[in-house]
Amino acid sequence: ETRKKKKSITTSAFDGITSGARETFRPAVKTGWKKMDDFVRMSPGRLIVLGARPGIGKTTLSVQLSTQMLCLNKETHILYCSVEMDASEIGLKSLSMLTSVDCVTPFQLSNEKLMDDVLNLAKTQESVMDRMHIFYGTRMDKLVNIAHAITEEYKLGLVVVDFISSMKPTEEHGTRTEAIGSVSKALKALAKELQVPVLACSQLNRGTNANRRPSMKDLRDSGEIEQDADIVMLLHRDSEEETELLIEKNRFGILGEIRL
């Protein structure tokens, strides 16, 4: 009681532990992928950045992690913001992962029988896929509003942004770097405010050599992405066409690499 009566503009380390540590280190959301869960804690309030060159698999990995989370956590809902793929494309990717069936080709071939088979498959996975909310757009303010609306009705377990450099900040900025920095800070604030992990995909700089392993400095447009992120993961495909997930930054965790 005596401590509470003292007004201060700061918080002591002691009070930080006694009043905030449980909240800061809430149990991480499990992905169901043991290697990933051993390395990376997808804890509420954290910003996780996944970087890669185009075509390496950022979207595929993001959809796979989201799908696995929904399977493991029966009450959890996920908000997936995509600037390149609409709900049908993300949905078919997710369904393919759930069923181990190629659900995309029947629609590419306009094969009515095979498309009907896919629609029947979708019905068997409705309880999972109905909890993945797709926002196809680039406005940061709209994404924030949607995330808040979902939390009022459901248990939101993850927000995915695919990808960060295409999101439009709420205010005008003088440079591209400032604009992307504003988006990364808004995503970090969203994670903290809603107490959910936010997974944000990022492109790498165009000049990045395809044959060398990327590093955090290769994240496109802004060093602030690397600064704001709690975790930075980079996908790299070597000359033997094998893909690695490099854990380059991991606050309160270890660094390393996972062979995919």
Has residue 102 got a pLDDT over 70?
Answer: yes
- CA–CA separation, 167 vs 179, rounded Å? 9
Has residue 189 got a pLDDT over 80?
Answer: yes
Has residue 4 got a pLDDT over 70?
Answer: no
Has residue 56 got a pLDDT over 70?
Answer: yes
pLDDT of residue 104: 92
pLDDT of residue 178: 79
- CA–CA separation, 45 vs 158, rounded Å? 10
- Residue 118 tokens read as 């896919």
Has residue 17 got a pLDDT over 70?
Answer: yes
Has residue 6 got a pLDDT over 80?
Answer: no
- CA–CA separation, 98 vs 122, rounded Å? 10
